[in-house]
Amino acid sequence: MNTGEPPLPVAIVAGLHTDARRSAVEEILRTVPGSVALHHDLSGATDRSVRRTVRDATGPLDSGEAPLTNDCACCALRADLVPELLRLAAGGGHRLAVVELWDSVEPQAMAELIAAEGAPLALTGVATAIDPAGVVPYLANADDLAEAGLAAAPTDQRTVADTFARQLEYPTLIAVADDTACDEPADDGDLALLAQLTPGARRVRLGRGALGPALLGGFDVEAAAVRQHPACALLPQDSDEHGVSTLVWRRERPFHPGRLHAALEDLTCAAARSRGRFWLADRPDTLLSWDAAGGALCVESAGPWLAALPDAAWEMVPAERRVAASLDWHPVHGDRRQHLTFTSPGLDRENLLALLDSCLLTDAEYALGPAGWKHLSHAFDDLLDTVA
């Protein structure tokens, strides 16, 4: 219902680094008059409920419990979040509502949930708070969230590393904890790694009062989703600074499925974080996504390449993807190409380049063309759970 009142600005602060996240929220409450923070604590979900608290700079204002839904704490959060925000909006008097997400909750789903509600809510910012000295340890942590006591549902199979990577790469703001608030001071390498992993985000130092105003600037969930889509993701740029490197590997030829499959373990462990898109010779119409962190790799189909679609279907594709494809259009392959990025301290660029290039089709294999490529090994069938 539109009462004519301006919508309530809502900002999200996420992060597995609990102390940094709490520091970020406390700073916002201190520096943005009229702000309140809403937090759902999922750690007590074993007691069949999720505890909700609302506070401002002076302390707690309200508390309550949201019943568990299908034994899923995150489902309870989703069901309770928007009604609580609407209650705050109806009460009036708040300049900003800060949604402090629990440790392993990823910001994208919550941002899209809030944005879909529309008035009287207005999503104005999304930030992830981090301790820069913890970036390498968290990206290297292959533990399941359940093992770390951070699972949001019984079926939660995410790892600490891949959850942390997505928390880093989705928002437009990274709230960086001050050294005085961290267990260990960050060095130049930590900051270089953070900068290379988050090329499209503004990094805001906590303790300077800048985070709150930055979160009022606005947030476009559709643009954010495009930035995450494998076909046009905003990937890191080639860099080498303070012992941290990002290798951007781009090629036009398809991978030999058998040789790439045999090299997966070495490629996955070659960097703290690797991302991108690629194509296989035996699946020339399928855009495949590459997502690796903590020594674990996820390879999935992201739908067809644009070159595999009929012309009439192009109008259904986001304009950003069409523009991205046109910039690299190949006269034969269209938008099909390899585009992988590897970011890590101590990256062995030379050997990584050699290994990646060795997985491409040779001249003789390439000359067989698509008809011949169909007879190559279908090594990824089990991994992709499809029939070639």
pLDDT digits (tens, 9 = 90+) for 208-261: 999 999 999 999 999 999 888 898 888 999 999 999 999 999 999 999 999 999
pLDDT tens, position by position, 134-187: 999 999 999 999 899 898 877 888 999 999 999 999 999 999 998 655 556 688
Quick one: pLDDT band at residue 305, thresholds 50, 70, 90? very high
The encoded tokens of residue 201 equal 């985000």
Are 222 and 273 members of one domain?
no
Quick one: pLDDT band at residue 63, thresholds 50, 70, 90? very high
Query: What pLDDT score does 327 carry?
Result: 85
The answer to whether 261 and 380 are in contact (CB under 8 A) is yes
Are 207 and 303 members of one domain?
no
Number of domains in the chain: 2
Q: What percent of the chain has pLDDT over 90?
A: 76
Are 82 and 52 members of one domain?
yes
Q: How many CB atoms lie within 10 A of CB 185?
A: 11
266 burial (CB, 10 Å; 0-12 / 13-18 / 19+) is exposed
* Residue 16 domain flag: yes
Are 157 and 279 members of one domain?
no
Are 201 and 284 members of one domain?
no
Are 221 and 259 members of one domain?
no
* Residue 369 domain flag: yes
Are 331 and 249 members of one domain?
yes
Quick one: pLDDT band at residue 126, thresholds 50, 70, 90? very high
127 burial (CB, 10 Å; 0-12 / 13-18 / 19+) is buried
* Residue 189 domain flag: yes
pLDDT tens, position by position, 221-233: 999 998 888 988 8
Residue 256 lies in domain: 239-384
Pairing of strands 239-241, 296-304: unpaired
Query: What pLDDT score does 183 carry?
Result: 59
Q: Which residue has the higher pLDDT, 92 or 28?
A: 28
Q: Considering all CA atoms of the chain, what is the largest pairwise distance in Å, rounded to the nearest integer?
A: 72
Domain boundary among 196, 228, 260: 228
Here the CATH number for the domain that contains residue 145 is: 3.40.50.300
What's the one-letter identity of residue 264? Answer: L
Are 243 and 176 members of one domain?
no
215 burial (CB, 10 Å; 0-12 / 13-18 / 19+) is buried
Query: What pLDDT score does 182 carry?
Result: 57
**Going by C-beta distance under 8 Å and a sequence separation of 6 or more, which residues neighbour residue 382?**
none
Measured distance CA(1)–CA(12) in Å, rounded: 23
Measured distance CA(199)–CA(227) in Å, rounded: 11
Q: Rounded mean pLDDT of the chain?
A: 92
Domain boundary among 171, 203, 228: 228
Least confident of 85-94, 173-182, 283-292, 333-342: 173-182
> Residue by residue, what is the 3-state secondary structure of 96-119?
EEEEECCCCCCHHHHHHHHHHHCC
pLDDT(204) > 70: yes
* Residue 353 domain flag: yes
Residue 304, helix vs strand vs coil: strand
Are 300 and 323 members of one domain?
yes
Query: What pLDDT score does 46 carry?
Result: 58
Are 189 and 79 members of one domain?
yes
pLDDT tens, position by position, 40-52: 998 876 567 789 9
Domain boundary among 228, 251, 283: 228
Q: What is the DSSP string of 221-273?
A: HHHHHHHHSTTT--PPPPEEETTEEEEEEEESSPBPHHHHHHHHHHHHTTSSE
Measured distance CA(366)–CA(370) in Å, rounded: 9
Q: What percent of the chain has pLDDT over 70?
A: 95
Give just the sign of the alpha carbon dihedral 179, 183, 184, 190: negative
Query: What pLDDT score does 303 carry?
Result: 92
Query: What pLDDT score does 384 carry?
Result: 87
pLDDT tens, position by position, 75-117: 888 889 999 999 999 998 899 999 999 999 999 999 999 999 9
Are 295 and 181 members of one domain?
no
Query: What pLDDT score does 283 carry?
Result: 95
* Residue 3 domain flag: no
* Residue 233 domain flag: no
* Residue 234 domain flag: no
Query: What pLDDT score does 376 carry?
Result: 95
- 85-123: b (≥16 Cβ within 10 Å) or e: beebbeeeebebbbbbbbbbbbbbebbebbbebeebbbb
* Residue 359 domain flag: yes
Here the CATH number for the domain that contains residue 310 is: 3.30.1220.10
Query: What pLDDT score does 1 carry?
Result: 46
Measured distance CA(14)–CA(307) in Å, rounded: 37
Pairing of strands 121-130, 202-205: unpaired
Pairing of strands 273-280, 283-293: antiparallel
**pTM attached to this predicted model:** 0.92
Query: What pLDDT score does 200 carry?
Result: 87
Are 114 and 253 members of one domain?
no
The answer to whether 74 and 153 are in contact (CB under 8 A) is yes
